[in-house]
């Protein structure tokens, strides 16, 4: 077998197209958009290049057929964040069912990262934010992947385990039917905070779309930044997130809590866009865009996807989580019956408080991913991700 760095236009095309044949017998796989994969490696589209670097390879067999691909990368903002050692990453891994081929790809990542001073690597993860291409699917193969979420053959787990990767944390995706009842605890929480002055819980109004970025940034930076290795987001990053959301945004899926007019919590969801993208076969050219508009017009998507949930620390424990969820229940169950199913962005097993909230919502674990870590010096003690308080 021959490892080849991806440099030429032909190599790049090969890198993107390789999974098509690999997944031909996996009916639940949804082909990612070509542009989304390519954007990971585009410095103009992926701002992680400002403080990171990436390399990628394809693996050829003796007949010059592609049998695998992988990328390795370093993000200077996270190599030591929460780690006992400088840690890089590998991602977008795909491979035929051949352990030798997988190990060639893993070795390439390890050697490149070691040459850059890294002492460990996480994988499969993303060269960028955690909400994309993160973790190895180990359970939930019978369900379609959500947009920019990893779906892989079951045999990949054998490769990671055999190579010496260890479980850094589990990622749990929860699902539920929209119409099913909620825990009485949530109504109790909502009633509790209703007795306090100055609180309001509702979905975003159309005239507030221009404020969405700042609402999002304010709550996120107080509730999530600098926890679980998450960096703060800037006003520019928040504006970009909103810009990306706008084509599919449904304001009746965006819930905020306010205290005297200031945002203090969010419960943000989007229409699960893979339910439309599965009809475009990876191509968002003129024909793909036409298909997108057609299927969106027909409202074929009956699934909503939760992307962010959080309460700023000074308002935690007062019932804000329950109040937001009950506000959403009133709209989505009684007034706006647009969605049948709800699935939530993954929650790390290091976050028991958030898992407890989701279980109160009535969610069940629909998919499990694992973020693996490989220490290059195996004599060192391995530590799992710390539990969040």
Strands 262-271 and 303-311: antiparallel
Q: What is the mean pLDDT of residues 140-147?
A: 96
Average pLDDT of the chain is: 92
The two domains 2-170+370-375 and 179-339 share their CATH topology (first three levels equal): yes
SS3 call for 367: strand
Distance CA 268, CA 209 (A): 13
Q: Cis omega before residue 124 (within 30°)? A: yes
CATH assignment of 179-339? 3.40.630.30
Q: Which pLDDT score, from 0 to 100, does residue 225 have?
A: 66
Contact 307, 138 (CB under 8 A): no
CATH superfamily of 2-170+370-375: Gcn5-related N-acetyltransferase (GNAT) (3.40.630.30)
Contact 36, 53 (CB under 8 A): no
Structural domain spans, the chain: 2-170+370-375, 179-339
Q: What is the mean pLDDT of residues 159-167?
A: 98
Tell me the whole-structure pTM to 2 decimals.
0.87
Contact 272, 301 (CB under 8 A): yes
Q: Which pLDDT score, from 0 to 100, does residue 183 have?
A: 86
60-64, 71-75, 325-329, 359-363: least confident range: 359-363
Closest CA to 373 of 1, 78, 173: 78
SS3 call for 14: helix
Backbone angles phi, psi at 362, to 5 degrees: 95, 20
Backbone angles phi, psi at 66, to 5 degrees: -75, 130
Question: What confidence tens digit (pLDDT) does each residue in 93-120 have?
Answer: 999 999 999 999 999 999 999 999 999 9
96-110, 138-152, 204-218, 232-246: least confident range: 232-246
């Amino acid at each position: 077998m021959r490892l080849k760095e991806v440099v030429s236009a032909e190599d790049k095309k090969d890198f993107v197209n390789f999974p098509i044949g690999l997944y031909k017998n996996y009916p639940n796989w949804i082909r990612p958009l070509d542009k989304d994969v390519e954007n990971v490696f585009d410095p103009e589209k992926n701002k992680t290049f400002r403080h990171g670097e990436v390399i990628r390879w394809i693996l050829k067999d003796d007949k010059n057929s592609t049998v695998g691909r992988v990328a390795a990368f370093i993000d200077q903002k996270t190599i030591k964040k929460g780690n006992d050692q400088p840690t890089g990453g590998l991602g977008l891994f795909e491979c035929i069912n051949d352990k030798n081929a997988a190990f060639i790809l893993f070795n390439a990542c390890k050697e490149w990262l070691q040459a850059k001073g890294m002492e460990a690597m996480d994988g499969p993860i993303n060269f960028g934010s955690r909400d994309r291409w993160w973790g190895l699917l180990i359970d939930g193969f019978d369900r379609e992947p959500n947009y920019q979420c990893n779906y892989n053959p079951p045999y990949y787990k054998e490769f990671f385990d055999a190579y010496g990767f260890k479980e850094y944390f589990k990622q749990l995706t929860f699902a539920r039917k929209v119409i099913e009842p909620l825990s009485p605890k949530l109504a109790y929480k909502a009633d509790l905070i209703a007795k306090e002055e100055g609180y309001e819980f509702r979905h975003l109004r159309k005239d507030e779309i221009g404020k969405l970025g700042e609402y999002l940034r304010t709550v996120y930076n107080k509730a999530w930044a600098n926890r679980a290795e998450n960096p703060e987001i800037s006003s520019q990053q928040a504006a970009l997130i909103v810009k990306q959301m706008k084509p599919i945004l449904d304001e009746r899926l965006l819930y905020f809590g306010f205290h005297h007019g200031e945002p203090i919590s969010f419960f943000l969801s989007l229409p699960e866009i893979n339910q439309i993208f599965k009809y475009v076969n990876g191509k968002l050219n003129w024909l793909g865009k036409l298909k997108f508009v057609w299927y969106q017009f027909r409202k074929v998507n009956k699934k909503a996807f939760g992307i962010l949930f959080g309460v700023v620390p000074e308002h935690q424990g007062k019932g804000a989580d329950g109040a937001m969820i009950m506000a959403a229940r009133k709209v989505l169950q009684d007034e706006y019956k647009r969605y049948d199913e709800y699935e939530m962005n993954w929650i790390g097993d290091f976050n028991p408080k958030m898992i407890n909230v989701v279980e109160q919502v009535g969610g069940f674990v629909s998919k499990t991913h694992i973020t693996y870590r490989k220490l290059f010096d195996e004599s060192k003690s391995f530590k799992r991700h710390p539990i969040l308080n």
